[in-house]
Amino acid sequence: IKSPSLDQWTGGGFLAAGMAYREEGGKRSVNPHVERLNNLTEAERNVEERSKDEQDKLNWIYSKEDPTKTLDPDKVRYAKPKPKIQEEEPAGSGTFSGELKFLSPMHKCQVQLPSDPQRTYPTVEHALAASKTSDMEIRDKILAEEDPVAAKRLGTKCLGKSDSDAAKAWRARSPGIMAALFRDKFRRTPRYRERLLGTGHQKLVHSNTYNDTYWGVCKGKGQNVLGDTLQQLREEIRNGKDLNAW
């Protein structure tokens, strides 16, 4: 009987035949692949088999081209893959994370609403949420919230539906409120004021992934009202505008 070749050791046919060893020249050689499988626990074998199945499936998916019919039914052309949307900001821009995290409305800092000097809020986001209501009990609940996102939700509930008169009126005032809150933040905390100046003439972009295209930019689209407001404040500070006059 002809001895199996090395390829047969590693081929599926040899293993499928159940040959765990072979004899050649009076010596018995153990199939290393069978020996390895025998040493695996049942759980490890299941994981290995599942991983191979998943990889085969992925290989099939990513190698598969999308055939589409042309005018000639005997011919087939392959559709080009659609280009992916690049979630990149303009060159030279800065997002509000890392060194610029202090520009985020959710960054911890002491700040007050001009109309509510009795309460000092822990973030600009808290104070902005409180500006959506004149109910002092609700403002206290907003102030007590540790999470700025939860505080934001409380404030939004006070406005009702997005097309309500209250919501429309607040949105019209909101850019001025946001500017006043950041002015207060920079007035109270000189180190943040200096860090803002340290950004030079860098474009400030409030980049986000939650589709806020009013205050910021998502997937390259948005008004970036917050970024523009901060750039305006930076210019005022650079020109020596009296902070106390804010």
Q: Are residues 24 and 127 in the same domain?
A: no
Q: Are residues 13 and 130 in the same domain?
A: no
Domain at 119, CATH number: 1.10.357.40
Q: Which of 239, 105, 95 minimizes the C-alpha distance to 177?
A: 105
What's the pLDDT at 241? 80
Q: Are residues 127 and 15 in the same domain?
A: no
pLDDT per residue as tens digits for the range 81-90: 554 333 333 4
Is the Cα dihedral 155, 157, 159, 162 positive or negative? positive
Q: Are residues 223 and 180 in the same domain?
A: yes
Q: Are residues 164 and 231 in the same domain?
A: yes
Do 188 and 110 contact (CB within 8 A), yes or no? yes
Do 178 and 206 contact (CB within 8 A), yes or no? no
Place of tokens 């006059």: 245
Is the residue at 72 inside a domain? Answer: no
Do 30 and 22 contact (CB within 8 A), yes or no? no
Which is it for strands 93-94 and 203-204: parallel, antiparallel or unpaired?
A: parallel
What's the pLDDT at 144? 98
Q: Are residues 51 and 104 in the same domain?
A: no
**Rounded CA separation 155/147 (Å):** 13
Q: Are residues 124 and 183 in the same domain?
A: yes
> φ, ψ for residue 192 (rounded to 5)?
-75, -35
Instruction: Give the domain extent around 30.
Output: 6-61
What's the pLDDT at 45? 62
**Rounded CA separation 161/142 (Å):** 19
Looking at per-residue pLDDT, the higher value among 68 and 214 belongs to 214
Q: Are residues 111 and 34 in the same domain?
A: no
Is the residue at 70 inside a domain? Answer: no
**Rounded CA separation 159/169 (Å):** 10
Q: Which of 124, 130, 127 minimizes the C-alpha distance to 104?
A: 124
CA angle (172 as vertex; 241, 88 as ends), nearest 5? 75
What torsion do the CA atoms of 178, 182, 188, 194 make, to the nearest 10 degrees? Answer: 180
pLDDT per residue as tens digits for the range 156-204: 999 999 999 999 999 999 999 999 999 999 999 999 999 999 999 999 9
| Domains held by the chain: number | 2
Q: Are residues 99 and 46 in the same domain?
A: no
Q: Are residues 113 and 198 in the same domain?
A: yes
pLDDT per residue as tens digits for the range 9-60: 444 444 444 455 666 666 667 666 666 666 666 666 665 565 566 656 555 5
- Indicate whether 108 pLDDT > 50: yes
Q: Are residues 146 and 241 in the same domain?
A: yes
Do 204 and 93 contact (CB within 8 A), yes or no? yes
Is the residue at 130 inside a domain? Answer: yes
Find the helix or strand (DSSP H, E) in which 175 lies. helix 165-188
Mean pLDDT for 211-224 is 94
